[in-house]
Amino acid sequence: MELFVADLIERFYTALWPFLRIGAMLIAVPILSIDAVTVRIRVFLTLLLTLLVYPLVDWPIIDPVSAEGLSEIF
């Protein structure tokens, strides 16, 4: 199986949405938002949860720089 640049960009965009949403959720969790939990641990936990959730859901392919992508973010 060969991965082309377009496939890698598509996979990056589809993984970006759950990564941002899970990261935002972990920032909002009171236990993980204190200073005792370092940023590295939060980023690692976000990456781990993203890798676990990513294959379970059919994520839409939305370019985050497009108008539709910006409307999803904001």
Q: How far apart are CA 10 and CA 70, in angstroms?
A: 17
Residue 74: predicted pLDDT = 63
pTM passes above 0.85:
no
pLDDT digits over 2-24, tens only?
A: 668 878 877 887 888 888 888 88
Structure tokens at 5: 């640049």
pLDDT digits over 37-53, tens only?
A: 888 988 999 999 999 98
pLDDT band, very low/low/confident/very high, at 56 (cuts 50, 70, 90): confident
Residue 73: predicted pLDDT = 64
